[in-house]
A and B are shown apart, each in its own frame.
Chain A
Amino acid sequence: DAKTTQPPSMDCAEGRAANLPCNHSTISGNEYVYWYRQIHSQGPQYIIHGLKNNETNEMASLIITEDRKSSTLILPHATLRDTAVYYCTVSGSARQLTFGSGTQLTVLP
């Protein structure tokens, strides 16, 4: 699986959009981009995933660049409950699945 790079921390004002970047420059053609988040010390939870096209669900939007080397997770209207560590990972046919250090998002009132 390709490795990912994320900024260690970001702040966002409540009600504003939070845009979390992820670099995955070594991603291969059959690998999907997955995003998870971890609130406090709970088990991480799946948010969204994508291959090439932009994706949207009830939680977030995922924008993947045309060359697929980076992506951005967008929380359109961040709330205090969105304060968490956000992990970007890529996964395809490899059996192993590793995570980077993630981004600590703090939503400020």
Chain B
Amino acid sequence: NAGVTQTPKFQVLKTGQSMTLQCAQDMNHNSMYWYRQDPGMGLRLIYYSASEGTTDKGEVPNGYNVSRLNKREFSLRLESAAPSQTSVYFCASRNYGTVVSGANVLTFGAGSRLTVL
């Protein structure tokens, strides 16, 4: 049981290049999230997908696009990378939709460290 898997773990881009961060979960969770974490800062929500077929903007969506490819996979795309997007990106998943105790626990991936020069 791998949990949440993110690829790549490390990436260096030049300004203006594009790339896609991949995320896959094997826990049959319905909701998936992308966060970014700048050095010394907390987690900020970029986009989320409450269920397959839906995506919504979070706190800091500008400069990003997402695709919920299927129930397992949720990708984050940078169309034209900027130095301000240098950050660590975390994908997470949970079962949204019930207030049953523990159902909303988030499981995080190990992170993808992106540097934009």
Residues on A lying within 8 angstroms of B by beta carbon are 30, 32, 34, 36, 41-46, 49, 51, 85, 87, 91-93, 95-102
Q: How far is the CB of B110 from chain A (nearest CB, A)?
A: 5
Q: Once the chains bind, are B106 and A36 in contact (CB under 8 Å)? A: yes
B40-92 contacts to A, CB under 8 A, are 41-45, 48, 50, 56, 58-59, 88, 90, 92
Name the contact of B42 in the complex, choosing from A92, A95, A99 (C-beta under 8 A).
Answer: A99
B3-54 contacts to A, CB under 8 A, are 4, 31, 33, 35, 37, 41-45, 48, 50
CA distance A97 to B113 in the complex (A): 22
Q: Which of A43, A44, A87 has the most CB of B within 10 A?
A: A43
Q: How far is the CB of A91 from chain B (nearest CB, A)?
A: 5
Q: How far is the CB of B45 from chain A (nearest CB, A)?
A: 5
- Given A99-B42, A99-B43, does the pair A32, B108 have CB atoms closer than 8 Å? no
Name the contact of A34 in the complex, choosing from B35, B41, B42, B104 (C-beta under 8 A).
Answer: B104
Q: Once the chains bind, are A46 and B106 in contact (CB under 8 Å)? A: yes
The chain A residue sitting closest to B43, CB to CB, is A99
23 CB-based A-B contacts, threshold 8 Å: A32-B101, A34-B106, A36-B106, A41-B111, A42-B110, A42-B111, A43-B4, A43-B90, A43-B92, A43-B110, A44-B43, A49-B105, A51-B101, A85-B42, A87-B43, A92-B99, A92-B104, A96-B48, A97-B106, A98-B44, A98-B45, A99-B45, A101-B41
Question: What 5 pairs across the A-B complex have the smallest Cβ distances?
Answer: A43-B108, A95-B50, A101-B42, A99-B43, A91-B104
The chain A residue sitting closest to B41, CB to CB, is A101
Q: How far is the CB of B30 from chain A (nearest CB, A)?
A: 10
Q: Once the chains bind, are A41 and B104 in contact (CB under 8 Å)? A: no
The chain B residue sitting closest to A6, CB to CB, is B42
CA distance A36 to B42 in the complex (A): 12
Q: Once the chains bind, are A32 and B43 in contact (CB under 8 Å)? A: no
Q: Once the chains bind, are A100 and B42 in contact (CB under 8 Å)? A: yes
Q: How far is the CB of A52 from chain B (nearest CB, A)?
A: 11
CA distance A19 to B37 in the complex (A): 25
